Structure 1
Amino acid sequence: MNNPPAGPASPGLPASVKQNLQEAPDLVDPIFQVEDVSVFYGDYEAVRGVDMKIGQKQITALIGPSGCGKSTLLRCFNRMNDLIPGTRVGGKISFRGEDLYGDDVDPIEVRRRIGMVFQKPNPFPKSIYDNIAYGPRVNGIRRGLDDLVEQTLRQAALWDEVKDKLKQNALSLSGGQQQRLCIARAIAIRPEVILMDEPCSALDPIATAKIEDLMQDLARNYTIVIVTHNMQQAARVSDRTAFLTAELDSAGVRYGKLIEYEQTSKLFTTPSDDRTEAYITGRFG
Structure 2
Amino acid sequence: MTHVEPDLATVPETVGVPGAPHGIRVDLGGREDRTPAGEPDGVIELRNLEVFYDKFRAVSGVDLLFGSQEITALIGPSGCGKSTVLRCLNRMNDLVPGAHVFGDVTFHGADMYAPEVDVIEVRRRIGMVFQKPNPFPKSIYDNVAYGPRVTGMKTGNMDDVVEQALRGAALWDEVKDKLKQSAFGLSGGQQQRLCIARTIATSPEVILMDEPCSALDPIATAKIEDLMVELAKTYTIIIVTHNMQQAARVSHRTAFFTAAADEHGQRTGRLVEYELTGKIFGNPADKRTEAYITGRFG
Q: Secondary structure at the residue paired with 2:196?
A: helix
Judge which range, 180-189 or 131-140, deviates more: 131-140
How far the C-alpha of 1:124 sits from its partner, in A, is 0.5
Structure 1 residue 277 and structure 2 residue 287: aligned? Answer: no
Shift of 1:27: 2.5
**CA deviation after TM superposition for structure 1 residue 67, in Å:** 0.6
Partner of 1:20: 30
Q: Which residue of 117, 122, 126 maps to 1:110?
A: 122
- Structure 1 stretch displaced more, 137-146 or 102-111: 137-146
1:183 partnered with 2:169? no
Match of 1:203 among 200, 203, 216: 216
Residue 45 of structure 2: SS of its match in structure 1?
A: strand
Single out whichever of 176-185 and 248-257 deviates more from structure 2.
248-257
The correspondence for 1:267, drawn from 272, 280, 283, is 280
Residue 81 of structure 1 aligns with which residue? 93
Instruction: String of CA shifts for 1:61-116, please: whole Å, max 9, x gaps.
Output: 00001111110000000000001111101111111000111121111111111000
Aligned to 1:45: 57
Deviations 1:118-157 (Å, cap 9, x if unpaired)? 0000000100000011111112346301111111101100
* Partner Cα separation in structure 2 for residue 220 and residue 260 of structure 1: 25
In the alignment, is the contact (CA less than 8 A) between 1:39 and 1:87 conserved in 2?
A: yes
- Given the superposition, is the C-alpha separation of residues 144 and 12 from structure 1 closer, same or farther in structure 2, using an over 3 Å criterion? farther
| Counterpart residue type for residue 14 of structure 1 | R
Give the whole-Å Cα distance in 2 for the aligned partners of 1:19 and 1:151. 28
Distance in 1 (alpha carbons) for counterparts of 2:29 and 2:142: 42
Output the TM-score relative to the length of structure 1: 0.94
Q: Is the 8 A contact 1:27 1:54 kept in 2?
A: no
Identify if the C-alpha distance between structure 1 residues 28 and 267 changes in structure 2 by more than 3 Å, giving closer, same or farther: closer
TM-score (norm 2): 0.90
Alpha-carbon deviations, 1:202-256, whole Å to 9, x = none?
0000000000000011001100000000010000000000000111012221111
Contact 2:51 2:58 in 1 (8 A): yes
Instruction: Give 1:7 deviation, angstroms.
Output: 6.3
Task: Tell me which moved more, 102-111 or 56-65.
Answer: 102-111
Unmatched tracts of structure 2, length 5 or more: 3-15
Q: Which of residues 215, 234, 246 is equivalent to 2:247?
A: 234
Matching residue of 2:256: 243
Q: Secondary structure at the match of 2:132?
A: coil
CA RMSD of aligned residues (A): 1.8
Aligned residues: 281
CA distance in 1, matches of 2:29, 2:193: 28
Aligned counterpart in structure 2 of residue 161 of structure 1, from 159, 166, 174? 174
Which residue of the partner structure matches residue 160 of structure 2?
Answer: 147
1:36 aligns with 2:40: no
Structure 1: distance between partners of 2:67 and 2:19: 26
Assess if the C-alpha contact under 8 Å between 1:33 and 1:52 holds in 2: yes
Letter paired with 2:68: Q
* Residue from 91, 95, 98 that aligns with 2:103: 91
> 3-state DSSP class of the match of 1:268?
helix
CA distance in 1, matches of 2:232, 2:177: 28
Query: Secondary structure of the equivalent of 2:57?
Result: strand
What stretches of structure 1 of length at least 5 have no aligned partner? none
